[in-house]
Amino acid sequence: MPAIDVRALSKSFAGRRAVEGLSFSVEAGECFGLLGPNGAGKTTTLRMLAGLFGPDQGSATVAGCGIRPREGASRELRRKVGLLTELPGFYDRLDANENLVHFGRLYGLSRTDARARSARFLERFLLAAHAHKPFAALSRGMKQKLAIARALLHEPEVVLLDEPTVGLDPEATREVRTVVGELRREGRTIVLCTHDLDEVERLCARAAFVATRLIAIHEVAAVQRGRVHVDLAAPSAGAAPALRNLPVVREVTQEGLRLHVELAALDGVPDVVAALVACGARVAAVQPVRDPLEEAYMAVLAEARGRGLLS
């Protein structure tokens, strides 16, 4: 059973359709990307999945809790979901620790548990030295990490991240991505809403392209896992035939000194290199093929514009 199952979800605001007939599912433990231009309905979708408000039509199940039209926001759902909002709103006059303890208690933790978990997350996100600084005195990256800590304090089954690295400098971006990567390795179900295609390539197995409605679901990891470029230092007639004999290789094409190799999995790369060396080829470089996510994204945008879904 998927951790998130969205079926024909629709939502309008003041007559403007924000989300229309959106359907997708996310498996437990999967990191799922939600991509789309501004105004595509990504944040609205996350807010519905977080139980902030209900859809006009359609339904969804998140961590076993149903979301249906004209139903009040479910408290049970909100207990099971951690939401990272686009901007890390905290109370300026409380320090980092007090803010976390306050939100932990609102999520139902006892004072003792909230304090213990706050200390643990501040330590984990390297914020312990800043625990007693007022929120306003923290850097943008620290604020964002604090917001991620808030989303995780109550140990949610599903984590919804809305633009986790927007507006951050490269160092802070890297720190936040490291944190998200850790969450993924812990096996949490994550929905990552972002404009950053590189982020999706690094963190997600699949991504949905949305422009009010679902346009396509892209298998990010499958493409990344399967394709490598091998650059040879000198021409070699035997290189391509040698690779075709390997069980891990699905397909090989040659273009000058570059071999395009499609593998069953990226862990077949050492076999590829060994086979090339054995046949006398001189290997200059082996590079995983970058996922053509940007191209796919642009194609999706063009399609969405063609269908009148975007201006």
Q: How far is the CB of 165 from other proteins (least distance, A)?
A: 17
Q: What is the bridge-based pairing of β-strands 227-232 and 4-13?
A: unpaired
Among positions 50, 122, 159, 239, the unique one binding other proteins when judged by CB under 8 A: 50
| Structure tokens belonging to residue 196 | 């950053």
Binding status of residue 250 toward other proteins by CB under 8 A: no
| Interaction mask 176-215, other proteins, x per CB under 8 A | ----------------------------------------
Among positions 8, 28, 63, 94, the unique one binding other proteins when judged by CB under 8 A: 94
Nearer CB in complex with other proteins: 162/291: 162
Q: How far is the CB of 240 from other proteins (least distance, A)?
A: 55
Q: Are 60 and 67 in contact (CB under 8 A)?
A: yes
Among positions 24, 32, 90, 209, the unique one binding other proteins when judged by CB under 8 A: 90
Q: How far is the CB of 234 from other proteins (least distance, A)?
A: 59
Torsion of CA 112, 114, 117, 119, to 10 degrees: -80
Q: Give the 3-state DSSP-derived string for 70-108, with helices as H, strands as E and coil as C.
A: CCCCCHHHHHHEEEECCCCCCCCCCEHHHHHHHHHHHCC
- Residues 311 and 17: their CA atoms lie apart, in Å, by 13
Q: Are 270 and 228 in contact (CB under 8 A)?
A: no
- Residues 169 and 148: their CA atoms lie apart, in Å, by 17
Among positions 103, 121, 125, 209, the unique one binding other proteins when judged by CB under 8 A: 103
Which parts of this chain interact with other proteins (CB under 8 A)? 13, 47, 50-53, 73, 75-76, 78-79, 81, 83, 85, 87-94, 98, 102-103, 105-108, 147, 150
